[in-house]
Structure 1
Amino acid sequence: MTFQGTDESVQLNGWKLIPTHISQPIQSVDANNTANIQNDNGNLTPATVYPQERHGHSTCIYKNNVILFGGTPDGSSGLNDLYFLSLDTFKWIEIKTKGMVPMGRYRHSAIIIEDKMYIFGGYRSKCLNDLHVLDLIKLEWSEPQCCGELPSARSSHSVCNVGKRMILFGGSGAKYSNELFTLDTTAMKWTKHEIIGTPPSERWCHTMCSFGKKVITFGGSNDKRKDNKVYILDSETMEWSQPHTSGSCPTPRQLHTAVCIGESMIIFGGWGKHQELNDLYILNTRTMKWQCPKIETDSPCQRQLHSAWVYNGKMYILGGYSKSKRMIDVHSFTPDQIFSTLRELCVEKIVESINNYIPLFSYLPDEVLYYIFVRLSQSDKFIPPQLEILVKKSYLADSLLTEKTPIN
């Protein structure tokens, strides 16, 4: 099945290789069109060479760009270069930053909260536990002083954010860990949380995705065994649970990627039983049912230690490691969820300018109102009283209570 877009037909449940480009030295960079970043320091320049092939890097989406940092081109040395990939033109942009640039590393974590990118840990000759922050408006690095209990040095851990908190789980340093930390990015305070409920075992090379107030962890290993179970963290009580899942469950794996699109968590690739993988599975996070969709196109090659992100309802992957080869290729996957995808885009647009849409609330379906409420709550943004009243009256009010989303 194809969906006709503005300039091309898109294959649902299909992969597409995305050609990326570099700019000629004589070209100038219009920051408004290629980066959408308020920067008057001339720090955005066209890339005259492609980024090196790599694995163990990080990619974070910021406005209409993906930020590529770090990784390793040879399995030993770590990179600390920084590129933007414009998702409008798919051109690479080199970034010259101010401040103290983090040392090169790979198997680190990176996350964006508001207009800052937070880099933690990773590996460079040894495991690290330093925290670096890139101000994406000033394009300036800093290494802030933090209080509280700092995580020990580790790599191949996972992070996600709920509001302005960064949640960090697991990894491997002196030993495999199932420790759970949060960083309050307002107070710059680390907190180590007691293990409550049914937690994942010690592990690294797993993934985490946030859905409202819930955080879902999947996969990983401690070198004794690989896992394919799903664990849910309640980010308010910091309690773990292990839900029952059904459907076509993925095989145990590590070094895969996971992203969330609407109600779905999509995982791709990784390292399974003695081989790299290129299979794709989708978990409906409301029914907890797995699906292995029939892929209508050729899939990217088997890989591990790649990265992934979501933009305009599509999953993208970049680079990674496959059969001793490192890559820098980009592929997109369009799930067969057109209605969910369109809803997601509408919700994001409304959340950006919530006050402009208050007069329209009474005309919107209950499900759309529900997702607007959840997204505002997740981002710690103002929730209009009119929206809260409508959601409380809807048939989805119980769902909010089940997810422990505040509604009075």
Structure 2
Amino acid sequence: MAMARGSSGLAYPERFYAAASYAGFDGSPSPKGVSSKFSTDVALLLYALYQQATVGPCKIPKPRGWSPVEQSKWTSWNGLGNMASTEAMRLFVKILEEEDPGWYSRVSNFVSEPVVDLAINHNLKDEPIAQNGNAFLETKTICSENGTSSENQDKDIVLDGLGSVNLYDQWVEPPVSGPRPKARYEHGAAVIDDKMYIFGGNHNGRYLSDLQVLDLRSWTWSRIEVKPGNESVEAPSPVTVSPCAGHSLIPWGTNKLLCVAGHTKDPSETIQVKVFDLQTYTWSILKTYGKPPVSRGGQSVTLVGSSLVIFGGQDAKRSLLNDLHLLDLETMTWDEIDAVGVSPSPRSDHAAAVHAERYLLIFGGGSHATCFNDLHVLDLQAMEWSRPTQQVEIPSPRAGHAGVTVGENWFIVGGGDNKSGVSETVVLNMSTLVWSVVTTVQGRVPIASEGLSLALSSYNGEDILIAFGGYNGRYNNEVNILKLSHKSTLQSKVETPVPDSVSAVHNATKASRDVESELENGQEGKIREIVMDNVDSDPMGTRVEESNERLLAILKAEKETLESSISKEKMESLQLKQELAEAETRNTDLYKELQSVRGQLAAEQSRCFKLEVDVAELRQKLQSMETLQKELEILQRQKAASEQAALGARQRQGSGGMWGWLAGTPPNQKDEDDDDA
């Protein structure tokens, strides 16, 4: 078949492959660099022409569950119909020349090389590919001097996934490879040594037990094949890990994962702590002492030093909890904590974090009917609950969210309020209790999901959040990452610090006294310093003394003004303390009243149930009475008929008797015979 030729005299197949290679097509079905060179419309058209020229007309079915990009690519390719491959080649080259007239002069070395080499073997530099607003380097195969192909020497740098993230404070989806885990939510996630481990979860009401790992340097998924393990060190026997959801996955040391609590199909009576060894790939059950908490899911588990702090959750009977337990990982002993103060209301699917290795923070969560956005703080030294005042705008109520801490910043992602997912990624400065929004996503995306996981990793000193899975009307298995900017990670340093803000109201009086003392000492020292400087500068002058006296008077007036301000602040602080105490008292009274009303409601419900039973019994008796009444009426009619028949018989018997009636003798004739006799 004769080949069409272009204006340069080069056969279209050769010129086409040179153009395709320059545009970023290397022979694979998808463009490698075209989206970074041209606009979206031009890129889609070039892709469609390339497919038409190399594959032929589009015969694959329209994608249904793919991304909008795949939908657009299919639409563009399918729209070419039965266009000939040579025509597609010609249009491809023509469009490229219109978009970039000088392209051919920059790759003139392609003319003398074979067509196959043109499509595979070129020495262009790697081009960054834009995906979801982020730039990732693509590894290409280059030709060595002896003609054999070898991998790029910078492969380790190119494949260094976390290092390829260029956008800050924006969620992007990296180009992961390997078999993706099943979509899920309410799973556990943890990062150890640049690897993110995913365990369990819920998919369409089915609990999962697989353990997946994502290599954060190559963005490759793989499944861990678990080997039979031991129940404990003392009792060697095989362990079968039950599928679960709503559990917590905690990194322990450098090569172990702790799986704490969670919902299962056959729950145990108490919480079990399972250990996965990353060296032996085995599960085992941690042998503990003391009284373990009742089994549950949706709780929070926080590692504080060498102890696990467990709060809240929902037990197997769907009862919400707000109890507090501690597991010492050195002695393996459980301890139930009876903290003072007003504890958070029973809840599950909340988030917890620790600040300064002393304060446990609880945010949000939900009950059976509502979601919360309250913040509670537990002083782990005094074992006292408090509810501090949050600054700026408080985030909306949510449950099923996830959080991680970076320094004194607590990042909260996802969650929902039984109506929609939360689109904002927020951060709480745990020293100032100031909330701020990091970024906001649009539409129904995996980040705005309930039951997603959030982990933290770092690269070259930069912190990166990694989110996976979740449920927002559909089950997700996408990975999204957010690189924290210098501003967001150091935000607390530019804010005005509040002394010990997690108990700021409690320490308000002490802070006022400290400020007053500093002001008094500072003012007196300043007065003495100014006076001595003036005396030394002019020891002989009377004017200096007068000036000093005026200065002293001014400073004394300022001191009195400051003292007055401090007194006002102290009064306001005392008033706030009184209002807080009253609010806590009202809260306690309301909670007691709520419990009382709940008890009354339960009693009324029981009474209502009994009344319904009585009504049912009375209705049954009423139906029986109606049946008896009908039977009585029938018997009465039968009785009346019998009485009527008996009455007629007596009347006949009285007028001649039965025998006369049978003989046919008239009554009058019988009487006459009697008279003759």
TM-score by length of 2: 0.44
Using the alignment, how far apart are the partners of 1:126 and 1:252 within structure 2? 32
Task: Tell me which of 111, 118, 121 is aligned to 2:258.
Answer: 118
1:279-318 to structure 2, matched below 5 A, reads: 279-295=424-440, 300-301=445-446, 302-312=448-458, 313-318=463-468
Check 1:320–1:297 CA distance in 2 against 1; reply closer, same or farther (3 A cut).
closer
Structure 1: gaps (5+ residues): 23-48, 344-408
1:200-279 to structure 2, matched below 5 A, reads: 200-213=344-357, 214-272=359-417, 274-279=419-424
SS of residue paired to 1:154: coil
C-alpha RMSD over aligned residues: 2.7
Check 1:342–1:265 CA distance in 2 against 1; reply closer, same or farther (3 A cut).
closer
SS of residue paired to 1:320: coil
One-letter amino acid of the counterpart of residue 475, structure 2 = R
Shift of 1:186: 1.7
Using the alignment, how far apart are the partners of 1:297 and 1:15 within structure 2? 11
Asked whether the 8 Å contact 2:423–2:440 carries over to 1, the reply is no
SS of residue paired to 1:123: coil
1:358-369 to structure 2, matched below 5 A, reads: none
Q: Does 1:66 align with 2:196?
A: yes
Q: Deviations over 1:287-328 (max 9, x none)?
A: 1011124549999443111100111112111011111x1111
Counterpart position of 1:42: none
Using the alignment, how far apart are the partners of 1:340 and 1:3 within structure 2? 22
SS of residue paired to 2:354: strand
SS of residue paired to 2:339: coil
Task: Tell me which of 469, 476, 479 is aligned to 1:330.
Answer: 479
Shift of 1:159: 0.4
Q: Does 1:10 align with 2:166?
A: yes
SS of residue paired to 2:166: strand
Counterpart position of 1:79: 208
One-letter amino acid of the counterpart of residue 167, structure 2 = Q
Q: Does 1:181 align with 2:325?
A: yes
Counterpart position of 1:27: none
Check 1:289–1:230 CA distance in 2 against 1; reply closer, same or farther (3 A cut).
same
Using the alignment, how far apart are the partners of 2:280 and 2:165 within structure 1? 39
Higher relative contact order (CA 8 A, sep 6+): 1
Counterpart position of 2:224: 95
SS of residue paired to 2:425: strand
Using the alignment, how far apart are the partners of 1:92 and 1:108 within structure 2? 22
Q: Does 1:109 align with 2:258?
A: no
Using the alignment, how far apart are the partners of 2:169 and 2:294 within structure 1? 41
TM-score by length of 1: 0.71
Shift of 1:277: 2.0
Asked whether the 8 Å contact 2:311–2:324 carries over to 1, the reply is yes
Asked whether the 8 Å contact 2:184–2:201 carries over to 1, the reply is yes
Shift of 1:331: 0.5
Deviates more, 1:154-163 or 1:232-241: 232-241
Asked whether the 8 Å contact 1:3–1:12 carries over to 2, the reply is no
Q: Deviations over 1:136-172 (max 9, x none)?
A: 3332211132111101011101101011111110001
Using the alignment, how far apart are the partners of 1:117 and 1:8 within structure 2? 28
Asked whether the 8 Å contact 1:14–1:334 carries over to 2, the reply is yes
Asked whether the 8 Å contact 1:305–1:320 carries over to 2, the reply is yes
Asked whether the 8 Å contact 1:127–1:155 carries over to 2, the reply is no
Counterpart position of 1:163: 305
Q: Provide the identity percentage.
A: 25
Q: Does 1:19 align with 2:190?
A: no
Counterpart position of 2:272: 130
Check 1:54–1:273 CA distance in 2 against 1; reply closer, same or farther (3 A cut).
closer
One-letter amino acid of the counterpart of residue 319, structure 1 = G
Asked whether the 8 Å contact 1:121–1:127 carries over to 2, the reply is no
Check 1:81–1:270 CA distance in 2 against 1; reply closer, same or farther (3 A cut).
same
Asked whether the 8 Å contact 1:15–1:298 carries over to 2, the reply is no
Check 1:192–1:104 CA distance in 2 against 1; reply closer, same or farther (3 A cut).
same
Counterpart position of 2:187: 57
Structure with the larger strand share? 1
Shift of 1:102: 1.3
Check 1:248–1:292 CA distance in 2 against 1; reply closer, same or farther (3 A cut).
farther
Shift of 1:109: 1.5
Deviates more, 1:221-230 or 1:78-87: 221-230
Using the alignment, how far apart are the partners of 1:273 and 1:216 within structure 2? 23
Shift of 1:230: 1.3
Using the alignment, how far apart are the partners of 2:249 and 2:177 within structure 1? 24
Check 1:297–1:336 CA distance in 2 against 1; reply closer, same or farther (3 A cut).
farther
Using the alignment, how far apart are the partners of 1:19 and 1:284 within structure 2? 32
Asked whether the 8 Å contact 1:300–1:331 carries over to 2, the reply is no
Structure with the larger helix share? 2
Deviates more, 1:290-299 or 1:302-311: 290-299
Asked whether the 8 Å contact 2:444–2:472 carries over to 1, the reply is no
Check 1:9–1:132 CA distance in 2 against 1; reply closer, same or farther (3 A cut).
closer
Counterpart position of 1:351: none
Deviates more, 1:255-264 or 1:90-99: 90-99
Asked whether the 8 Å contact 1:259–1:310 carries over to 2, the reply is yes
What is the count of residue pairs matched by the alignment?
Answer: 315
Shift of 1:181: 0.7
Shift of 1:176: 0.9
Structure 2: gaps (5+ residues): 1-133, 138-156, 158-162, 230-238, 493-677
Shift of 1:4: 12
Shift of 1:93: 2.5
Shift of 1:234: 2.4
Check 1:290–1:142 CA distance in 2 against 1; reply closer, same or farther (3 A cut).
same
Asked whether the 8 Å contact 1:71–1:106 carries over to 2, the reply is yes
